[in-house]
Structure 1
Amino acid sequence: MMANPPGTLLFDLDGTLVDSAGDLSGSLDTLMAEKDLSPIGIATGRQLIGHGIANLVRNALKLRGESEDEGDIAIDLARFMDIYASRLTRLTRPYPGVVETLEVLKSQGWSMGVCTNKREKFATSIVEDLGLSRFFEVVSGPDTFGVGKPDPRQLSEMVKAAGGRHPALFVGDSEVDVAAAKAAGMPVIALTYGYSKIPLDTLAPDALLSSFGDVPQAISEIMSKSR
């Protein structure tokens, strides 16, 4: 156990806890095929992930030269949601070390939650399907509190929903995650294997890791500096 009573740990989902690129890219490719457009593919799909499903679909269509008419995009977005809902965890899996590390953190007494820009119902289904729900008090998307990252209110509302225990730390993989945590006044641990669009070291997170298994040690070091 940690010397001081632990508080709240919040985690991003895609690119942090789970690799969802296969199912997101596969859903995009199904949508493209239905529209007689060339596939996006997983490599490009990975580059588009991280700013919510609406931006994912919008940017994929833009790559294929599709009109940005809001009415058309709304129809395509609704269709994408139906496609994705049918295959949320066909290929999506936790990253190496995630389950074992969450077990350690849970045993230390941390309250934990998932804070993602994926819709809450999708995030909750993924967490449940992959056997991760036992670790988390709450799962939120941008539709849960009416705000999404990088708006810091999603994180502050999550801390309250998870029991209001402080200190609170955030673990993510992208520039959106770092920005949200900094705006919320939370220490942030950034993981380099995810879907960031820019080099994370340029954003000065409190810790920069290449392995999820290193998260507990990073938390201990951050906590010791704050005492």
Structure 2
Amino acid sequence: MEGRRVKAIIFDLDGTLIDSAPDIHAAVNRTLAETGDGELPLDTIRGFIGNGVPVLIERVIAARGLDPARQAAMVDTFMRHYEADPATLTTLFPGVKDAVEQFRDEGWAMGVCTNKPEAVSRAILDRLGIGSFFGTVVGGDTLDVKKPDPAVALAVKERLGATVAVYVGDSEIDAECAWKAGMRFALFTEGYHRADDVDDIPQDARFSDFDVAVAIVARLADELR
């Protein structure tokens, strides 16, 4: 219908909806173990997440002082381990399930914008019982570009048929993507951001508890009227 306002919420995945660092950490260390390259701690790997698998492995290589020429082979090995079972240790952040149910009940369209491969992202969402809430998932291999390129977030908005979209994420990458896409950005502070101070991340609002996410996102959307 012409003039109908369709509001959407675009979620980042890792560090926003899901705490996936333990499974990513396990796959990284299995990759390193295959060639006797040691291990890295969970907190280190958590700080490497967000820019997609190639960048993750690039940071692993730098941290272990390995030959950069090994990146492509290590990406393949990592994906073999990770895709074998990507949600053994991964969990939803507290309050996520209730929040997406409320968004659905209030008529929001929802999509996921992530640098994780699309198929793996969908498999994890389904495994955790929330896949059906999302009208689309645009992953790091869906388009020819990754976040923070705004084309990723804009593709989610277009696929949802939205006229208004609010982006929810946990990192500097998400903030940049939202800004470039012309979207309001709500920062989930308990995720995988790299900044020591969340005030350093551009944002229109922030929250640490999904119990208040619906009200915050609704306010940001109303400001776009």
Pair in the same fold by TM > 0.5 = yes
Report the AA paired with residue 170 of structure 2.
D
* 1:37 to 2:34 alignment: no
Question: Per-residue deviation at 1:5?
Answer: 5.0
Report the AA paired with residue 85 of structure 2.
R
Root-mean-square deviation (Å): 1.3
Match of 1:208 in 2: 206
Instruction: Provide, for residues 10-29 of structure 1, a one-character-per-residue CA deviation record: whole Å limited to 9, x for no partner.
Output: 10000000000000001011
When the two structures are aligned, how many residues end up with a matched partner?
221
For 1:166 and 1:213, how far apart are their aligned partners in 2? 25
The within-5 A match list for 1:146-157 is: 146-157=144-155
Match of 1:10 in 2: 10
2:7–2:221: 8 Å Cα contact kept in structure 1?
Answer: no
2:166–2:221: 8 Å Cα contact kept in structure 1?
Answer: no
Note closer, same or farther for the CA distance 1:39–1:197 as it changes in structure 2 (3 Å cut): same
Match of 1:194 in 2: 191
Match of 1:115 in 2: 113
Q: Secondary structure at the match of 2:186?
A: strand
Q: Secondary structure at the match of 1:62?
A: helix
Runs of 4+ in 1 over 2 A off after TM superposition: 223-227
The within-5 A match list for 1:79-158 is: 79-158=77-156
For 2:202 and 2:59, how far apart are their aligned partners in 1? 27
> Could you list the runs of 5+ residues in structure 2 that have no partner in the other structure?
none
TM-score, normalised on structure 1?
0.93
Question: Per-residue deviation at 1:176?
Answer: 0.2
196-205 vs 87-96, which deviates more? 196-205
Question: Per-residue deviation at 1:142?
Answer: 2.0
The within-5 A match list for 1:65-76 is: 65-69=65-69, 72-76=70-74
Correspondence for 2:172 among 152, 171, 175:
175
TM-score, normalised on structure 2?
0.94
> Could you list the runs of 5+ residues in structure 1 that have no partner in the other structure?
none
For 1:204 and 1:43, how far apart are their aligned partners in 2? 24
Q: Secondary structure at the match of 1:143?
A: coil
Q: Secondary structure at the match of 2:77?
A: helix
Match of 1:218 in 2: 216
